Amino acid sequence: MFSDFMTNTWIVATLVAVVAGVVGFFVVVRRAAFAAHVLPLGAFPGAAAASLLGVSELAGIVVFSGLGVLGISQLQRWDRREVATALWLAVALALGTLFLSMTREYSQGLYALLFGEVLGVSSRAIVPVAVLSSIAIAMTALLFRPLLLDSLSPELAEAAGAASRWLELAFLAVLALATATALPVVGALMVFSLMVGPASAARMFSDRPGTALALTIGLSLATVWGSIALSYLSDWPVGFFVGTLAGLSYAAGRVTGVTGEGR
């Protein structure tokens, strides 16, 4: 499990867990679980398109995450938030089925792309993931106060001079970046689970944003490391463990939480 070829996996997984924890904290505060589900899933056609064109998979994912941000925020001007999100999901996945039908060999890669693949992360893959993670964390740090204020009290944030619409756009952009780093490891279908599970448990134990954020990152690391270890030992898909551990963290938070949230 700790042999040489797994070293890269552990490094990438750690980056992924930290980014997912930071972004997941805001996903929970902003009630954005649906968007956190749709952006990664809507980015997976990008990976399929990239394999069709013979370009890097990560580039395809980044492009389609960006399209997702623009698509969702444009549709939001016409319809309510979750309808806009659902419509973008439908359009992106329709393109995905089209790309998939054009390549025969790709359907083998489909499963890994949807449910995650922890083995065989190459050294060259580490650098782009590290760069994207740093940008995502830096953006969150910059936006930390206005985002938190806007999530807790939109009127107050508006008064402080932060426009809700731009903040939503910036938040979606951070979410898209986090998606691009996490997708190849955890899988398009499971990225949001990693964001929602730890953060939803952490807020049960502390009302203070800083403490809750630290707890979220800790739980996220535990979830990712645990899932990879279990997946390595059992050969079962990493997505199964991520989903189950996220569900268990939420349940544990509900049962033992001290802050009274969610009661």
Partner 1 sequence: MSLLEFIFPPGFLANGPVHTALIVGAGAAIVSAVVGVFTVLRGQSFAGHALADVSSAGGSAAFLLGINPLLGFLGVAALAAGGMEWADVRDARERDLVTGVMLGVGLGLTALLLYLDTLRGSTSGAAIAVLFGSMFTIPASIVPLALAVAGAALVAIGAIYRPLLLSSLSADLAQAQGAGVRRTGLVHALALALAVSLAAMTVGAILSTALLIGPAAAALRLADRPGRALAWAVLIGWAATWGGILLAYDSFYWTPGHGWPVSFFIVMLIFIAYLLAGLVGRWLTPRSLERPA
Answer whether 26's CB lies under 8 Å from 147's CB.
yes
Scanning the structure block, which residue is given the tokens 């013979």?
54
Residue closer to partner 1 (CB basis): 171 or 241: 241
Least distance (Å) between residue 38 CB and partner 1: 8
Residue closer to partner 1 (CB basis): 79 or 207: 79
Residue 251 neighbours by CB under 8 Å, 6+ apart: none
Q: State CA 52 to chain mean position distance.
A: 24
Scanning the structure block, which residue is given the tokens 């700790």?
2
DSSP state of 103: -
Residue closer to partner 1 (CB basis): 11 or 149: 149
Round to whole Å and give the CA distance between 156 and 159. 5
Least distance (Å) between residue 236 CB and partner 1: 6
Residue closer to partner 1 (CB basis): 2 or 78: 78
- 3 state SS for 145-198: HHHHHHHHCHHHHHHCCCCHHHHHHHHHHHHHHHHHHHHHHHCCCCHHHHHHHH
Buried b (16+ CB within 10 A) or exposed e, 69-80: bebbbebbeeee
Residue closer to partner 1 (CB basis): 64 or 250: 250
Which parts of this chain interact with partner 1 (CB under 8 A)? Answer: 28, 31-34, 36-37, 41, 76-83, 85-87, 89-91, 93-95, 97-98, 100-102, 107-108, 110-111, 114-116, 187, 189-190, 192-193, 196-197, 200, 236-237, 239-244, 246-247, 250, 262
Q: What are phi and psi of 95, to 5 degrees?
A: -60, -40
Least distance (Å) between residue 149 CB and partner 1: 16
Residue closer to partner 1 (CB basis): 93 or 229: 93
Round to whole Å and give the CA distance between 180 and 23. 13
Least distance (Å) between residue 163 CB and partner 1: 16
Round to whole Å and give the CA distance between 218 and 212. 10
Residue closer to partner 1 (CB basis): 126 or 252: 252
Least distance (Å) between residue 4 CB and partner 1: 26
259: left (phi over 0), alpha (psi -120 to 50) or beta: alpha
Least distance (Å) between residue 154 CB and partner 1: 12
Least distance (Å) between residue 68 CB and partner 1: 15
